[in-house]
Amino acid sequence: MPCCLRMLVLDFLFLVVHPLFGSSHTSPHEFIRQPPKGIIFTRHGGSASDPQQVHISLAGGQHMRISWITEDKKAPSTVEYGKSPGKYDNTITGVHTSYSYFFYTSGKIHHVRIGPLEPGTMYYYRCGGSGPEFSFRTPPARFPIEFAVVGDLGQTEWTSSTLAHVGGADYDVFLLPGDLSYADSQQPLWDSFGRLVEPLSSARPWMVTEGNHEIEMFPIIYPHGFSSYNARWVMPYEESGSPSNLYYSFDVTGVHVVMLGSYADFHERSEQYQWLRNDLAKVDRGRMPWVVALLHAPWYNTNEAHQGEGEEMRKALEELLYDGRVDIVFAGHVHAYERFTRIYNNKEDHCGPMYITIGDGGNREGLAMRFKEPASPLSLYQEPSFGHGRLKMVNGTHAHWSWHRNKDTDSYMADEIWIESLSSTNSCLVGGPPSRSLPSSTSSSSKDEF
């Protein structure tokens, strides 16, 4: 089916048919549910050599990876950067790649790892020796640090609202638990997505993991999938000892973040399982009092959509996360917001992770309207609305989580909770106290690191 016709059919299904089967679910707040909105196709306004789709990501050891695409295949993979606008003290050359998918061939995809960088510092940079100047701020050396958390983002007018709300917040790192562009094999939509998010993704590190919409597998021709995702969104898997871009981890300002792969093998003999076990065993909770995990298909979910899809992964990996005293697990996939209590093996457990589903970034598929009734006592808040979350680690012991619903053009904080770290909960400590004294409210790692 041609692209435009397919979109029209999808729009019809979501705008006309979907509401007919809408939910009678009552949320904690009376609110008229937002209908889906149209896709935004964002075009490139510059020359062939001008950088587009610029995004940055943490790349281990005080480094940042700068990624962008040029239509010009001769454009150099160099980044010039410095701490003052227009004054570039450093030039680093990186690598480039490209990929083909049926009749589509990507532009030149550049990845340049720069650093070491100073924490909490503005840097100004230019890609490929020409074009506009961009800037970013490195994460702080000490608490507090704030994460924006958005799943199932897509590229609709709701996405645009979500990004505007996130962009209005003073956050440090963007976390995305899968389903980025919803290109679904229509490769120009990957380019459009990169352009749409560039104002944010060029200014703060975007750390993502894959969802089902990244797979783009096709029998025999593309049997392994992820051609576009792996070429465009290189994450610090090598820096974290992972064999695959589909799962990795990173440390930032006293927080160890584990990005898991719902669509990579996770069984006991798999590389992901072995890597995760080693990764969690190495975490020094004195330096990293918080551990947060992200994955796509939720392990706990009381929405009627996608029931049971995360169950096999939960059975394989839940014990590792529990023993690793992971504080919070974020998931996407279900297009709604849901917050659970701390859980282990389907029971409330004060040493287990808190589970949050945040798959409501603004994708074209619309909202998952129905939650099971009666509500599970494990599920403390459910709401099918577009929005985003903010997680602020105030210090080594306390964090504030808030969920911000897209209310027309405003952002409205509809849910919030204070969270205590498991590393500061004596009854949950494994193998005695942390190897160092816990950081105070003003320290996390040493002063020169983020």
| Residues binding Fe ion (CB under 5 A) | 179, 211-212, 333
Phi, psi of 312 (to 5 degrees): -65, -40
Minimum CB separation of residue 449 from Fe ion in Å reads 34
For residues 222 and 109, the answer to whether their CB atoms sit within 8 Å is no
Q: Which helix (H) or strand (E) covers residue 7, if one does? A: helix 3-12
**C-alpha distance across the termini of the chain, in Å:** 48
- Which C-beta is closer to Fe ion: that of 162 or that of 411? 162
Element (H, E) at 321: helix 311-323
Q: Smallest gap, in angstroms, from Cβ of residue 417 to Fe ion?
A: 25
CB of 274 to Fe ion, least distance (A): 26
Q: Which of 340, 361, 332 is nearest to 262 (CA)?
A: 332
Runs of H (alpha helix) within 21-167: 157-167
| Nearest distance in Å: CB 297, Fe ion | 7
Residues 59, 65: Cα–Cα separation, whole Å: 6
CB of 310 to Fe ion, least distance (A): 11
173-176 and 145-149 as β-strands: parallel, antiparallel, unpaired? parallel
Cα 28 from chain centre: 26
Closest to 35 measured CA to CA, from 388, 404, 304, 386: 386
Of 134 and 190, the one with the shorter C-beta distance to Fe ion is 190
Query: Taking Cα atoms as reference points, which of 354, 376, 329, 330 lies closest to residue 428?
Result: 354
Q: Which active-site residues does the annotation give? A: 306
Q: Which is nearer to Fe ion, 301 or 445 (CB)?
A: 301
Report the residue number, 159 or 253, with the smaller CB distance to Fe ion.
Answer: 159
Of 352 and 362, nearer to Fe ion (C-beta) is 362
* Cα 206 to Cα 192: distance, rounded to the nearest angstrom: 17
Alpha helices in 37-187 (DSSP H): 157-167
